[in-house]
Every structure is written in C-alpha cells, then in structure tokens.
C-alpha cells in the first residue's frame, strides 16, 4: 500500500468497467462510509430516511449533490458491518453509466471525505478482516479473468474454500508434528521412542502425499489461467490467417491472396471445448525473399518453440513439395495436428508420403467451415492426452506451486533427518520451513510486500 494509505481510511472506487453503459456502481467501504455518502446524498420521493438511520441492506432513491447542484439521480444501497464483503460498512451508489457523470459522482464522494481505493483494496480488506483467506482472494481475480466454463468452475471451487480445506488441516498436522519434535529439544537426554517416531513419520508421509497431489494440479492451473499455446504454421497462402479467424469466430487477421501478408505473430484466445487456447498466427514458412520476411519466419520458429501444440496447415489443393516435407520433418518431434485446408477444392496433396501425420491428416475448409468442429475436437483430445485434467477440482497457481515445492522439499529433509535418528534440531528446522510455506499460501504468514504484489493485480473497485 502507499505510505500515506491506512487500513482505517474509508475508501471509494468505481466498481464497474470504464466506458459508457446503462449504469455504473461506485463502492464505498470503511468506518465512515455511511456518513460520507450522506454528505453527498439528497433523498427524494416519499421516503426521507437519512442514510445513518437506514436499516442494513436497504436501497434508497435520491440525488448526488455537490455545492447545491444535482450531479445525478442515484440508488444508494446501505450495508452495515459485518454482513458485507469487506466486513466494514459498505455503501454502493448506482448512477448513470456515462464516463463523465460517473467520475463526477466519485469526485463528489472523495470531496466528502473518502480516499480513492487502490487496486484490489476492497478484497484486501476482506482478507485482512478474516472474511476470506488468501487463496479465496486470489480466486476472486481468477473468477473475474475466467475465459471458459472450466476456468470459471475452478475459480468457484477455490473461492468456496476447496484448496483451503486441504491446506489448513495439512498445516495443523505439521504443526502438531513440529510440537512433538520441539518438545524433545528441551530434553536432550530423552530420545523419541520408536513408536512415536513411526507415528510422526506416518504423518509426514501423509503430508508429502497431500503436497504431491496438489502439485500435480499445477499444469491444470496454468492451462486454465493462461491457456494452451497453439501455434499455426505452414507455407504462405495455406490459409493460416483464415484458420485463426474461423477458430476465433471473427475476423482478427488480414486474409489476402498475396503471399507473405503476415509478417509478425498474432495472438488471440478462444474457448475450445471449455479449454482456453491461445492461437498464434505466424508468417508463412518458406525460403525468405527479404530481411523483413526473414525476421517473420524467425519469429514463427520462436513461437513454435514456446508452443504446447502445433497446428501444421498444408494446402490440400497443391501437391506436397520439398518445402512442406522439410518443415514437417522439423516439427515431427513436437505435439501437433497436421491439417489439410481447402477440402472444398480438388485434392492434390498425395497421401502416400511416408510421414504418418500426412497419411492421417485432418481435412478442413476455411472457406466453407467444413471440418472445423472436428478440428476443435482433435485439439481438445490432444490437450487432454498431454495430461491436462480439463475438470480439476483444484488448480493451483504459480505462487501456490512455488510455496508447495518449498514445503515439500523441507518436509522430505525433515523426514530423512527424523528417520535416520539425527538430533531433533534438524527435523525441527525443516518442519518450521514447511509449515511457514503452507502458511504463505493461505495467508497465515504473509508479508505486506507479498500482499502488495498480489492485490496490485486486481482492478480498481475490487
């Protein structure tokens, strides 16, 4: 947080996206939220109830006024602590959705005593006030940025506390093991009995099992949040840009009969059978005729190197030539789907080429749309065959993965030290490291710097 910002301030921000719309919502939260909004609110209609006297979870009609002038006609929702998102008093002002009028309403509330909220500050207060833990706070960001039904389902699972229900008992169990071990530090002459040692090792083994099962979801989490990168490669005029447009459902790339139109990579995300896939259109693969085209082909190869799936597009209306064969061989070791475009034209691409992918290539027509649904099915199947569970109950993010790896490594060292009979100080050190790492995930041992990083990724008003 900014040095001059405190958690006792009453904060305000526009909670709806910028731009013109039917309405906008301005959220105010803090100890003085209700009196601050009252200073700028003039009730209208039959009810003349002032906001400080209003019951919780009620809506009031009136106008926002400043210096005696009406700014806008509004509805004001009053919600009293602790039954609010932040567990503070919260007031939400619904006004007309014009960019200028919304800003005027917000400025009026700031002039009445509120401070402009920082990105994610409402959610941060919900975390600091104990309404949600840190994994649930992150799930809110995932929910906002979800691009498919599966990503939305995974975010809702985490928001409901599915991950926390795994981690909190794990941390409690490890704290119990640590307490047993540390009790013997004060009594160096008493060894841990064999039965007790076996029980502690069993609990550590159970902890390692839980940690491993959670780490196994890291790939799913990456896919649902970032998407699978699928690069479209092929010769010029094979139809790569047309394929991108078909997969996206709208015209994103320029389509032209002139070879070499695409000189740079174009990236767009589409929902393919519930899986977010980042499709990358690239420059045509051929021997370049100028330095600019050479750079485009270099970027094509770089995109292919970073991609998890290659869609190799061939022109089915032309015979397979040495250039096609060369690039088919170049990408033969990568996960890919080989596609024959222009199935609406007489086929000239010979199926007898020794490359298995060419014998089993998938025919489509970007002109008519034939074969596109089959291609989408094939993409989803190929992603699943790569080990991605497309319906995960839990899908950890990169921060969780890092903390879990630190916890697991420390836990494995603690087990080895305890099993080998080393002095109890050694497993105690690593057990503390493991417990702290788990606490970092749910927010039990989180620093302000880490919170600043996490919540800075949120939008204003959330």
For residue 18, the 8-state DSSP code is: S
Out of 211-225, 268-282, 347-361, 375-389, pick the least confident: 347-361
For residue 87, the 8-state DSSP code is: S
Cis peptide bond upstream of 397, omega within 30? no
Alpha carbons within 13 angstroms on the beta-carbon side of residue 203 total 20
For residues 314 and 238, is the Cβ–Cβ distance under 8 A? Answer: yes
Quick one: pLDDT band at residue 45, thresholds 50, 70, 90?
confident
Quick one: pLDDT band at residue 258, thresholds 50, 70, 90?
very low
* 283/363: higher pLDDT: 363
- pLDDT above 50 (res 264): yes
Q: What distance in Å separates the CA atoms of residue 64 and residue 257, rounded to the nearest whole number?
A: 58
Radius of gyration of the CA atoms of the chain, in A:
29
Burial of 202 (0-12, 13-18, 19+ CB in 10 A): exposed
Task: Give the strand order in the sheet containing 228-234.
Answer: 266-272, 275-281, 228-234, 309-315, 336-341, 362-363
Quick one: pLDDT band at residue 401, thresholds 50, 70, 90?
very high
pLDDT of residue 250: 65
Mean pLDDT in residue range 401-410: 96
Average pLDDT value over all residues in the chain: 84
Quick one: pLDDT band at residue 185, thresholds 50, 70, 90?
confident
pLDDT of residue 256: 45
Q: What distance in Å separates the CA atoms of residue 365 and residue 378, rounded to the nearest whole number?
A: 15
164-167-173 Cα angle (round to 5): 140
C-alpha distance from residue 189 to each of 183, 198, 419 (Å): 12, 19, 18
Q: What is the pLDDT of residues 321-354, one digit of tens each?
A: 777 777 788 778 888 889 988 888 887 776 555 4
- Domains of the chain (ranges; CATH) run 11-131 (3.30.1360.120), 135-217+396-442 (1.20.120.430), 229-385 (3.40.50.300)
Contacts of residue 87, Cβ cutoff 8 Å, sequence gap at least 6: 81, 125, 126, 129, 130, 131
Q: What distance in Å separates the CA atoms of residue 91 and residue 114, rounded to the nearest whole number?
A: 12
Ranked by mean pLDDT, which of 130-139, 195-204, 244-253, 317-326 comes out on top? 130-139
Mean pLDDT in residue range 32-41: 96
For residues 75 and 94, is the Cβ–Cβ distance under 8 A? Answer: yes
Q: Which residues pair with 279 in a beta bridge?
A: 230, 268
pLDDT of residue 388: 58
Q: What is the pLDDT of residues 226-248, one digit of tens each?
A: 788 888 888 888 888 888 888 88
Q: What distance in Å separates the CA atoms of residue 306 and residue 297, rounded to the nearest whole number?
A: 14
Q: What distance in Å separates the CA atoms of residue 338 and residue 351, rounded to the nearest whole number?
A: 12
Mean pLDDT in residue range 359-384: 87
The rounded percent of the chain whose pLDDT value lies above 70 is 86
Q: What distance in Å separates the CA atoms of residue 392 and residue 164, rounded to the nearest whole number?
A: 15
- pLDDT above 70 (res 460): yes
Q: What distance in Å separates the CA atoms of residue 141 and residue 321, rounded to the nearest whole number?
A: 49
Q: What distance in Å separates the CA atoms of residue 417 and residue 409, rounded to the nearest whole number?
A: 13
């Amino acid at each position: 947080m900014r040095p001059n910002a405190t958690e006792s301030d009453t904060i305000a921000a526009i909670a709806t996206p910028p731009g013109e719309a039917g309405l906008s919502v301005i959220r105010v939260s803090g100890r003085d939220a209700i009196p601050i909004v009252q200073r700028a609110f003039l009730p209208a209609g039959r009810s003349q109830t002032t906001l400080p006297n209003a019951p919780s979870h009620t809506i009031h009609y009136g106008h926002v006024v400043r210096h005696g002038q009406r700014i806008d006609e509004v509805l004001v929702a009053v919600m009293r602590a602790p039954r609010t998102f932040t567990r503070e008093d919260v007031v939400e002002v619904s006004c007309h959705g014009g960019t200028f009028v919304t800003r005027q309403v917000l400025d009026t509330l700031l002039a009445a005593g509120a401070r402009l909220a920082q990105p994610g500050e409402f959610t941060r207060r919900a975390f600091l006030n104990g309404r949600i833990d840190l994994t649930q706070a992150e799930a809110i960001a995932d929910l906002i940025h979800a691009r498919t039904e599966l990503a939305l389902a995974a975010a809702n699972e985490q928001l409901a506390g599915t991950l926390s229900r795994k981690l909190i008992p794990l941390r409690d169990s490890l704290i119990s093991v640590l307490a047993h071990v540390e009790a013997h530090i004060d009594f160096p002459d008493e060894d841990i009995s064999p039965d007790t040692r076996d029980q502690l090792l069993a609990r550590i083994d159970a902890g390692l099992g839980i940690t491993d099962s959670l780490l196994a979801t890291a790939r799913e989490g990456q896919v649902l949040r970032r998407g699978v990168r699928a690069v479209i490669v092929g010769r010029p005029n094979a139809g790569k840009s047309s394929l991108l447009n078909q997969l996206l459902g709208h015209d994103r790339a320029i389509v032209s009969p002139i070879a070499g139109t695409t000189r740079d990579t174009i990236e767009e995300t589409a929902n393919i059978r519930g899986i977010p896939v980042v499709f990358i259109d690239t420059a045509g693969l051929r021997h370049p005729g100028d330095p600019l085209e050479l750079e485009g082909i270099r970027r094509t190869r770089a995109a292919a190197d970073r991609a998890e799936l290659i869609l190799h597009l061939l022109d089915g209306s032309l015979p397979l030539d040495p250039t096609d064969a060369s690039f088919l061989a170049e990408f033969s070791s990568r996960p890919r789907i080989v596609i024959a475009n222009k199935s609406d034209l007489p086929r000239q691409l010979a199926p007898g080429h020794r490359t298995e992918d060419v014998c089993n290539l998938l025919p489509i027509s970007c002109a008519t749309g034939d074969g596109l649904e089959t291609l989408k099915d094939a993409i989803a199947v190929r992603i699943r065959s790569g080990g991605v569970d497309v319906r995960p109950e839990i899908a950890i993010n990169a921060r969780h993965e890092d903390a879990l790896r630190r916890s697991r490594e420390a836990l494995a060292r603690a087990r080895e030290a305890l099993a080998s009979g080393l002095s109890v100080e050694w497993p105690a050190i690593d057990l503390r490291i493991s417990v702290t790492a788990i606490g970092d995930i749910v927010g039990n041992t989180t620093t302000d710097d880490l919170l600043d990083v996490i919540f800075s990724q949120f939008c204003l008003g959330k």
